[in-house]
Amino acid sequence: MSEPLRIALAGLGTVGGGVIRLIETNAALIARRAGRPIAITAISARNRSKDRGVDLSRYAWEDDMVILGERPDVDVVVELVGGADGPALALARTTFEAGKALVTANKAMIAHHGLELATRAEAAKVAFKFEAAVAGGIPAIKGLREGAAANRIERVYGILNGTCNYILSTMEDTGRDFADVLAEAQAKGYAEADPTFDIDGIDAAHKLSILSSIAFGTAIDFRNVTATGIRRVLAADIAQADALGYYIRLIGMAETEVDEAGNRRLFQRIHPHLVHRDHPLAHVDGATNAVVAEGNFVGRLLFQGAGAGDGPTASAVVADLIDIARGDVGAPFSIPVSELDAAAPADTGHRRGKAYLRFTVADRPGVLAEITAAMRDAGVSIESLIQKGRAGEDSDQVLVAMVTHEGPESAIAEAMRLLEGSASLSAPPLVMHILEE
C-alpha cells in the first residue's frame, strides 16, 4: 500500500473530535477505499489541556495553528476552527502558499473568500474541498459536482439550517410560540447562545451561495443573497398554514435567469415559505437538512439527512480526505475560477407565485377595508382571507391572514408600500411565499 496521506487538524471541537474518532475507528476501511492510509500527524486548538474524550498524545501539537500549513510532515490541512476571517483564513492562505491541500467545514470563510482561496488552490495545483460546509453529512456538493455533472441545473433549493427547522417543526408539533421553542433549542444545544446567524437566515445564506456557485457555474456571491429569518413566525401562522394544507419551512432558493438584454442573472433568497404538504420538503422534521436540485435531464434530486453533529460532519470531512488520497484535485467550484460567470443579481419583481400575508391590526371598523383596498390598488388578487382572534389574551390587536392568487411579487411589494406607516397596523406585515408540490 502507498505512503499515508498525512493530515494536520486545526480545531478540536465537536467536529474535530469526530474526525479523530472516525479516522481511528474506521482506519482499515478508510485505507482500503482511499488506496492508502490516512494518518493524523499534527493538531492545534485554542486550549491544549481541555479533555476532548480522545487521546491526543500521539500527535504533534502546534500552539499557532497557522504553522500547521508549513509543516514538512503534512500533506493536507483540515480547518475546523470556523469564522470568515482571523486564524482560519490565515491558515488557509498559508496552506496554499505552501503547496498543500485544504479541507474545511467553514461555510462563512468560503462564502466571503471562496473565490480568492480557489484561485490560490488552482495556482498551487492542490485540492480545496468543503463538502462539510453545506448540510453536514449530506453529500450535496458531491451530488452536484459529480452525480449531476452532465445536467444543466435549473434550480437548487432546500432546508439549509437545522436550528430553524427544529424550531419550526417543534412549533408545528406543540403549538408553542417562537420564543419558547428557541429557549428550549438553546437548552438542548440545538441553538447557540446568540442564535442570530441561524434564526436570521445568515447561516443558510452562506450555504446557499456555495450551492449556487457549484450548481450554476457562477462566481460565489454571498453579498447578494436576500435573507429573511423566522423570528416573526407565530404559532398562529403555523396553525393557519396547517389548515390550508401547508407546513412552514425556512427555504433557501437559487436559480438563474436571462434578462431582456440576454444577460444571465442570479436569484438567491432565504425566506420562510408555506410548503405544500405533498412536497418532499414539507416532511423534513427536526434538525434535518435537505437539498433539492432540478436538472434538465435527471429531473428532481433530493438529498436529505443530518445537517450537523460530530458524526455526520466528520463523515463529510473524511470523505473529502479520501478523494484527495485517491488523487482527486479538480476545480473547487466544479469549473476553474476564471470561467465562473459573474452573474448580476436578478430582479425579483417579475417572479410569479402565491403568497401568505399576515397582518397584526387594531380591532376597529375599517381596518380590513384599508388592507383590501391596498391589495386592490396594487393589483393583488386575494384567494382567501381569514380574520383570527385577538393576538394575545389581553391584546386589543387581531390577526388577519390572507392567501393571494398567483401573481407578480412586484404587486405584493407595492401593496406593502401602500400600507407602510398605516396607524391600523401594529407591526410590519409578514409575507411568506408559497412552494407548491
Q: What is the pLDDT of residue 396?
A: 74
pTM for the whole thing? Answer: 0.94
Contact between residue 135 and residue 203 where contact means Cβ atoms under 8 Å apart:
no
Task: Tell me whether residue 353 is annotated as binding.
Answer: no
Cα dihedral across residues 81, 87, 89, 91: positive or negative: negative
Question: CB under 8 Å, gap of 24 or more: what pairs does 387-394 form?
Answer: 388/236, 388/240, 390/363, 391/236, 391/360
Task: Tell me whether residue 192 is annotated as binding.
Answer: yes
Task: Indicate the SS3 state at residue 330.
Answer: coil
Q: What is the pLDDT of residues 144-190, one digit of tens each?
A: 999 999 999 999 999 999 999 999 999 999 999 999 999 998 888 77
Our measurement of the distance from residue 11's CA atom to the centroid of its chain's CA atoms, rounded to an integer in Å, reads 22
Q: What is the pLDDT of residue 259?
A: 84
Task: Tell me whether residue 19 is annotated as binding.
Answer: no
Q: What is the pLDDT of residue 393?
A: 56
Grid cell listed for 117: 482561496
Q: What is the pLDDT of residue 188?
A: 82
Grid cell listed for 7: 493530515
Diameter over CA atoms, the chain: 82
DSSP 398-417: EEEEEEEPSEEHHHHHHHHH
CATH superfamily to which 5-133 belongs: NAD(P)-binding Rossmann-like Domain (3.40.50.720)
Task: Tell me whether residue 420 is annotated as binding.
Answer: no
Judge residue 399's burial from the number of C-beta atoms within 10 Å of its C-beta, 0-12 exposed, 13-18 middle, 19 or more buried. Answer: buried
Grid cell listed for 52: 476532548
Grid cell listed for 32: 482500503
Residue 107 phi, psi dihedral angles, 5° rounding: -65, -35
Grid cell listed for 221: 456571491
Our measurement of the distance from residue 67's CA atom to the centroid of its chain's CA atoms, rounded to an integer in Å, reads 31
Q: Which residues are catalytic?
A: 207
Beta-ladder partners of 5: 38
Task: Tell me whether residue 183 is annotated as binding.
Answer: no
Task: Tell me whether residue 107 is annotated as binding.
Answer: yes
Q: What is the pLDDT of residue 392?
A: 56
Q: What is the pLDDT of residue 52?
A: 78
If we measure between CA atoms, which residue out of 278, 320, 284, 280 comes closest to residue 305?
Answer: 284
Task: Tell me whether residue 15 is annotated as binding.
Answer: yes
DSSP 141-185: HHIIIIITTTSPEEEEEEE--HHHHHHHHHHHHH---HHHHHHHH
If we measure between CA atoms, which residue out of 337, 355, 328 comes closest to residue 436?
Answer: 355
Match domain 140-306 to its CATH number in 3.30.360.10, 3.40.50.10190, 1.10.10.10, 3.30.365.10.
3.30.360.10
Q: Which residues contact 391 (CB under 8 A, 6 or more apart)?
A: 236, 360, 397, 398, 399
CA atoms of 115 and 426, how far apart (whole Å): 44
Contact between residue 411 and residue 379 where contact means Cβ atoms under 8 Å apart:
yes
3-state helix, strand, coil in the chain (%, to 5): 40, 25, 35
Low-confidence residues of the chain: pLDDT under 70: 1, 388-395
CA atoms of 148 and 160, how far apart (whole Å): 19
Task: Tell me whether residue 16 is annotated as binding.
Answer: yes
CATH superfamily to which 352-435 belongs: ACT domain (3.30.70.260)
Contact between residue 429 and residue 416 where contact means Cβ atoms under 8 Å apart:
yes
Task: Tell me whether residue 119 is annotated as binding.
Answer: no
CA atoms of 257 and 314, how far apart (whole Å): 36
Q: What is the pLDDT of residue 1?
A: 58
Q: What is the pLDDT of residues 298-345, one digit of tens each?
A: 999 999 988 777 888 999 999 999 999 999 998 999 999 999 999 999
Contact between residue 90 and residue 69 where contact means Cβ atoms under 8 Å apart:
no
Q: Where are the domains of the chain?
A: 5-133, 140-306, 352-435
